[in-house]
Structure 1
Amino acid sequence: MPDPVKIGDRAPVFSLPSESGESVSLGDYIGKKPVVLYFYPKDNTVVCTKEACAFRDNYEEFRRLEGAEVFGISSDPVESHSSFSREHGLPFRLLSDEKGTIRELYGVPKTIGIFPGRVTYVIDGDGIVIHIISSQLGYKKHVEEALWALRSSQKGKI
Structure 2
Amino acid sequence: MLQSGDTAPAFTLPDADMETFDLLSTRGRQRVILYFYPRDNTPGCTLQAADFSDHEDEFARCDCIIVGVSPDDALTHAEFRDQHGLSVRLLSDTDAEVARLYDVWQAREVDGVKKMGVARTTFVIDKQGVIRHVLRDVTPRGHVAAVLKLVKELDT
TM-score, normalised to structure 1, is 0.90
Point out the structure with the larger strand share.
Answer: 2
Q: Percent identity?
A: 35
Q: Give the length in aligned residue pairs.
A: 150
Q: Secondary structure at the match of 1:112?
A: strand
Question: Which aligned runs of 4 or more in structure 1 are off by greater than 4 angstroms?
Answer: none
Counterpart of 2:29 (choices 27, 32, 49) is: 32
Per-residue deviation, 1:111 = 6.0
Q: Are positions 1:60 and 2:62 aligned together? A: no
Distance 2:76 2:105 in 1: 23
TM-score, normalised to structure 2, is 0.91
Per-residue deviation, 1:141 = 4.2
Distance 2:92 2:29 in 1: 23
Q: How does 1:1-150 map to 2 (within 5 A)?
A: 4-65=1-62, 67-110=63-106, 112=108, 114=115, 115-136=117-138, 138-150=139-151
Distance 2:142 2:127 in 1: 22
Amino acid at match of 1:63: A
Amino acid at match of 2:47: K
Q: Deviations over 1:22-81 (max 9, x none)?
A: 11100110111100000000000111001111111111111111x200000000000000
Q: Unpaired segments of 5 or more residues in structure 1?
A: none
Distance 1:19 1:9 in 2: 28
Q: Deviations over 1:71-122 (max 9, x none)?
A: 0000000000011111112112100000000000011153635342100000
Q: Are positions 1:154 and 2:155 aligned together? A: yes
Task: Provide the alpha-carbon RMSD of the alignment.
Answer: 1.4
Distance 2:141 2:72 in 1: 22
Q: Unpaired segments of 5 or more residues in structure 2?
A: 110-114
